[in-house]
């Protein structure tokens, strides 16, 4: 809802063009468009919103969290950390990844991240960090993956 109305105010074609975690003042909002967004959200939700809404809650995600807390105060904890970023990644991958090398590197990184969340990996005695399985990661790694490991994991870039 917030991103849709922000996109309309900015003249964008849709909500996908408004990043949830990016400051609205950074993407072109000023005091007049901030008032317009507040008025649109007030009309859509039927909930009174302060004139300082955009300044108190500078990103679409922050405004959405504020609205959720105001409109559904007993909704419980919010989404798990990282879910919004995964949604953005999913949207970025909708068109597919053409280059097989890029696709393999991306798949490797996603497997690594998934391994951090896998309870079986942490139950095996590690703490879920990349350092736990460096030998396993290197056994099946391509040359590019090994160089990326050296650059990113060992801090040599």
Which three-class secondary structure string do you get for 105-148? HHHHHHHHHHHHHCHHHHHCCCCCCHHHHHHHHHHCCCHHHHHH
Residues 109, 67 share a domain: no
Domain count, the chain: 2
Task: Indicate whether 92 belongs to any domain.
Answer: no
pLDDT, greater one: 56 or 114: 56
Task: Indicate whether 83 belongs to any domain.
Answer: no
Tell me what percent of the residues of the chain surpass a pLDDT of 90: 32
- For the chain, what percentages of helix, strand and coil (3-state, to nearest 5) are there? 60, 0, 40
Task: Indicate whether 81 belongs to any domain.
Answer: no
| Residue 118, φ and ψ in degrees, nearest 5 | -75, 115
Residues 62, 108 share a domain: no
Say how far apart CA 146 and CA 134 lie, in whole Å.
10
pLDDT band at 125; cut points 50, 70, 90: very low
Task: Indicate whether 135 belongs to any domain.
Answer: yes
Give the per-residue pLDDT at 57. 92
CATH of residue 31's domain is: 1.10.1200.10
Task: Indicate whether 86 belongs to any domain.
Answer: no
Task: Indicate whether 24 belongs to any domain.
Answer: yes
1-58: pLDDT as tens digits: 999 999 999 999 999 999 999 999 898 999 899 999 999 999 999 999 988 898 899 9
Domain residues for the domain of 39 are: 2-71
Residues 114, 149 share a domain: yes
Give the per-residue pLDDT at 1. 92
């Amino acid at each position: 809802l917030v991103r849709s109305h922000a996109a309309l105010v900015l003249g964008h074609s849709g909500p996908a063009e408004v990043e949830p975690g990016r400051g609205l003042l950074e993407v072109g909002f000023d005091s007049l468009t901030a008032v317009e967004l507040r008025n649109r959200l007030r009309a859509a939700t039927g909930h009174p919103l302060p004139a300082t809404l955009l300044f108190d809650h500078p990103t679409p995600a922050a405004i959405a969290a504020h609205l959720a807390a105001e409109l559904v105060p007993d909704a419980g904890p919010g989404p798990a950390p990282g879910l919004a970023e995964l949604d953005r990644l999913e949207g970025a991958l909708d068109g597919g990844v053409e280059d097989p090398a890029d696709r393999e590197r991306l798949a490797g990184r996603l497997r690594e991240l998934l391994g951090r969340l896998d309870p079986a990996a942490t139950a095996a005695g590690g703490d879920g960090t990349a350092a736990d399985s460096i030998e396993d990661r290197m056994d099946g790694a391509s040359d590019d993956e090994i160089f990326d490991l050296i650059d990113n994991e060992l801090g040599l870039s």
